A and B are shown apart, each in its own frame.
Chain A
Amino acid sequence: MKAFAFAAGVVLATGAVAETPQLTVYTYDSFVPDWGPGPQVEAAFEETCGCDLNLVAVGDGASLLARLRLEGERSDADVVLGLDTNLIQSARETGLFAPHDVDAEFDLPVAWDDPVFVPFDWGYFAFVKDAGLEAPGNFRALGDSDLKIVIQDPRSSTPGLGLLMWVKAAYGDEAPEIWEGLADNIVTVTKGWSEAYGLFLDGEADMVLSYTTSPAYHLIAEEDDSKAAVPFDEGHYMQVEVAAKLAGSDQPELADAFLRFMVTDAFQSIIPTTNWMYPAVMPEGGLPEGFETLIAPERALLLPSEEVPALREEALDEWQRALSQ
Chain B
Amino acid sequence: MAARAQPVARVWPGIGAAAVVAALILGTLAAVALRAEAGRGLSPSDWAALRFTVMQAALSAVFSVVLAVPVARALARRAFAGRQAFITLLGAPFILPVIVAVLGLLAVFGRRGVLNAGLEALGMPAVQIYGLFGVVLAHVFLNLPLAVRLILQGWQTIPAERFRLAASLDFGPGDMWRVLERPMLLRMVPGAAAVIFAICLSSFAVVLTLGGGPRATTVELAIYHAFRFDFDLGRAALLSCLQIAVAGAAALIALRLSGQGGFGAGMGRPVRRWDARGAGFRAMDAAFIGAAALFLIVPLAMVLRDGIEGLGQMPADVWRAAGYSIGVALVSTVLMLSLALPMAVASARWQGLEAAGLMGIAASPLVMGTGLFIIVYPFADPGAWALAVTALVNAVMSLPFALRVLAPAARDCIADYGRLSASLGLRGRHWLRLVLLPRLRRPLGFAAGLAAALSMGDLGVIALFSDPERATLPLQMYRLMGSYRTEAASGAGLLLLALTLAVFWGFDKAGRYGADD
Of all chain B residues, the one with the shortest Cβ separation from A36 is B483
Q: Which residue of A lies closest to B230 (CB)?
A: A155
A50 interface residue per 8 A CB criterion: no
Q: How far in angstroms is the closest Cβ of chain A from B383? A: 7
Instruction: Please give, as numbers and ranges, the residues of chain B lying within 8 Å of A88 by CB-CB distance.
Output: none
Partner of B373, one of A62, A70, A198: A70
Tell me whether A204 and B466 are in contact (CB under 8 A): no
Q: Chain B residues with Cβ under 8 A from A33's Cβ?
A: 315, 317, 468, 479, 483
* Residue contact A194 to B229, C-beta cutoff 8 Å: no
B11 contacts the other chain (CB 8 A): no
B377 to chain A, nearest CB (A): 6
A162 to B48, CA, bound (A): 25
Give the residues in chain A near B213, CB-CB below 8 Å.
186, 188-189, 323-324
**A111 shortest CB reach to chain B, Å:** 26
**Assuming the A-B contacts A29-B479, A202-B106, are A155 and B383 also in contact, with contact meaning beta carbons closer than 8 angstroms in the complex?**
no
Interface positions, chain B 370-412, Cβ under 8 Å from A, are: 370, 373-374, 377-378, 381, 383
Contact A188 B383 (CB under 8 A): no
Most chain A CB atoms below 10 A, which of B107, B110, B128, B210: B110
Q: Are A55 and B229 also in contact (CB < 8 A) when A29-B479, A203-B111 are?
A: no
CA distance A214 to B383 in the complex (A): 31
Q: Chain A residues with Cβ under 8 A from B227's Cβ?
A: 63, 66
CB–CB A30/B111 < 8 A:
no
The answer to whether B307 has its CB under 8 Å from any CB of chain A is no
With both beta carbons as reference points, the residue of chain A lying nearest to B478 in the complex is identified as A194
> Is B130 an interface position by the 8 A CB rule?
yes
| A319 close to B479 (CB less than 8 A) | no
Beta-carbon contact of A90 and B229 below 8 Å:
yes
B272 to chain A, nearest CB (A): 48
Interface-central residue, B210, B211, B374, B483, by most chain A CB under 10 Å: B483
Task: Pick 8 A–B contacts, CB within 8 A, sort by A.
Answer: A33-B315, A35-B483, A57-B468, A189-B214, A194-B481, A202-B486, A203-B110, A324-B213
- Across the interface, do B489 and A198 meet the contact criterion of CB distance under 8 Å? yes
How many angstroms between the C-alpha atoms of A320 and B297 in the bound complex? Answer: 37
Q: B208 at interface (Cβ–Cβ under 8 A)?
A: yes
* CA of A79 to CA of B324, assembled, Å: 28
Does A217 count as interface, using CB distance less than 8 angstroms? yes
As a 0/1 sequence over residues 274 to 287 of chain A, the CB contacts with chain B under 8 angstroms (1 = contact) are 00100000000000
Residues of B within 8 A of A156 (CB): 224-225, 228-229
Residue from the list A58, A76, A155 in contact with B225, Cβ < 8 A: A155
Report the nearest B residue to A66, measured CB to CB: B231
Partner among A38, A193, A323 whose Cβ is within 8 Å of the Cβ of B482: A193
**A-side contacts of B315, CB under 8 Å:** 33-35
Q: Which residues of A contact B166 (CB under 8 A)?
A: none
Interface members, chain A 182-196 (any B CB < 8 Å): 186-195
Chain A residues near B479: list those with CB within 8 A: 29-30, 33, 194
Contact B383 A202 (CB under 8 A): no
Within 8 Å by CB of A56, from B374, B467, B483, lies B467
Residue A197, interface by CB 8 Å = yes
Number of interface residues of A (CB under 8 A): 59
Among B215, B378, B489, the most chain A Cβ lie within 10 Å of the Cβ of B215
CA distance A146 to B308 in the complex (A): 34
* CB of A303 within 8 Å of the partner chain: no
B55 to chain A, nearest CB (A): 14
A62 to B110, CA, bound (A): 29
Kindly state the separation between the CA atoms of A199 and B106 in the bound complex, as whole angstroms.
Answer: 9
On whether the beta carbons of B209 and A191 are closer than 8 Å, the reply is: yes
Question: What residue of chain B has the Cβ atom nearest to residue A221's Cβ?
Answer: B484
Contact with B along A151-172 (1 / 0, CB 8 A): 0010110000100000000000
Tell me, in angstroms, the Cα distance from A188 to B227 when the chains sit together: 22
Does chain A have a CB within 8 A of B190? no
Partner of A161, one of B131, B229, B373, B481: B229
Digit string of A49-69 for contact with B (CB within 8 Å is 1, else 0)?
000000111111011011101
A194 to B45, CA, bound (A): 26
> A203 contacts which chain B residues (CB < 8 A)?
110-112
Whether, in the assembled complex, A2 has its beta carbon less than 8 Å from a beta carbon of chain B, the answer is no
Most chain A C-beta atoms within 10 Å of own C-beta, residue among B130, B228, B466, B485: B228
User: Which residue in chain A gives the minimum CB-CB distance to B381?
Assistant: A76
CB within 8 A of B468: which of A35, A55, A190, A192?
Answer: A55
Q: A56-B468, A148-B111, A312-B229 are in contact. Are A189 and B486 (CB under 8 A)?
A: no
A32 at the interface (CB under 8 A from B): yes
Task: Determine if B463 and A63 form an interchain contact, defined as CB atoms under 8 angstroms apart.
Answer: yes
B383 to chain A: which residues have CB within 8 Å? Answer: 56
CB neighbours (8 Å) of A324 from chain B are: 48, 213-215
A156 vs B366: C-alpha distance when bound (angstroms): 14
A71 at the interface (CB under 8 A from B): yes
Which partner residue on chain B sits nearest A325 by CB separation?
Answer: B215
| Nearest B residue (CB) for A59 | B463
Contact with A along B218-249 (1 / 0, CB 8 A): 00000011011101000000000000000000
B212 contacts the other chain (CB 8 A): yes
Q: Check if B114 is an interface residue, CB within 8 A of chain A.
A: no
Q: Which residues of A contact B377 (CB under 8 A)?
A: 70-71, 74
Task: Identify which of B374, B478, B483, B485 contacts A70 (C-beta below 8 A).
Answer: B374
- CB of B464 closer than 8 Å to a CB of A: yes
What is the chain B residue whose CB lies nearest that of A190?
B209
Closest to A60 in B: B482
A58 — which chain B residues lie within 8 A by C-beta? 466-467
Please measure, in the bound complex, the distance between the C-alpha atom of A62 and the C-alpha atom of B226, giving whole angstroms: 11
Check if A205 is an interface residue, CB within 8 A of chain B: yes
Task: Tell me, yes or no, whether A201 is within 8 Å of chain B by CB.
Answer: yes
Render B466-492 as a binary contact track against A, CB cut-off 8 A, 1 for contact: 111000000000110111111001000
B317 touches A197 (CB 8 A): no
Residues A217 and B228 in contact, CB atoms below 8 Å apart: no
Report A-chain residues with C-beta under 8 Å of the C-beta of B212: 186-189
A230 to B111, CA, bound (A): 22
- CA A56 – CA B381 in complex, angstroms? 12
Name A115-145 residues within 8 Å CB distance of B. none
Q: In the complex, are the beta carbons of A29 and B482 less than 8 A apart?
A: yes
CB neighbors of A among B345-363 (8 A): none
B residues in contact with A191, CB < 8 Å: 208-209
Determine whether the beta carbon of B463 is less than 8 Å from that of A319.
no
B18 shortest CB reach to chain A, Å: 29
Residues of A within 8 A of B228 (CB): 62-63, 66, 155-156
- Assess whether A195 is in contact with B209, with CB atoms less than 8 Å apart: yes
CA–CA, A74 to B376, complex, Å? Answer: 13
- For window 429-479 of B, CB contacts with A under 8 Å fall at 463-464, 466-468, 478-479
In the bound complex, CA of A203 to CA of B486 (Å): 12
Residue of A nearest to B107 (CB): A202
In whole Å, how far is B477's beta carbon from the nearest beta carbon of chain A?
10
- Cβ-closest chain B residue relative to A319: B214
Residues on the A chain within 8 Å of B467, using CB: 56-58
Considering only residues 76-114 of chain A, those with a C-beta below 8 Å from chain B are: 76, 87, 90
Q: For the complex, give the distance between the alpha carbons of A203 and B109 in Å.
A: 12
Q: Are A34 and B229 in contact, CB atoms less than 8 angstroms apart? A: no
Q: Which residues of B contact A319 (CB under 8 A)?
A: 214
Most buried by A among B210, B224, B468: B468
Tell whether A63 pairs with B464 under 8 Å between CB atoms, given A202-B110, A319-B214: yes
Partner of B481, one of A69, A198, A205: A198
CA distance in complex: A189, B215 (Å): 10
The residue that A57 contacts in the complex, of B110, B208, B466, with Cβ under 8 A, is B466
Nearest to A68 among chain B residues (CB) is B231
Q: A35-B485, A187-B130, A199-B106 are in contact. List 16 more A-B contacts (CB 8 A).
A: A36-B483, A56-B468, A57-B466, A62-B228, A65-B229, A66-B228, A69-B231, A70-B370, A70-B377, A155-B225, A186-B212, A188-B131, A190-B208, A198-B486, A201-B486, A204-B110
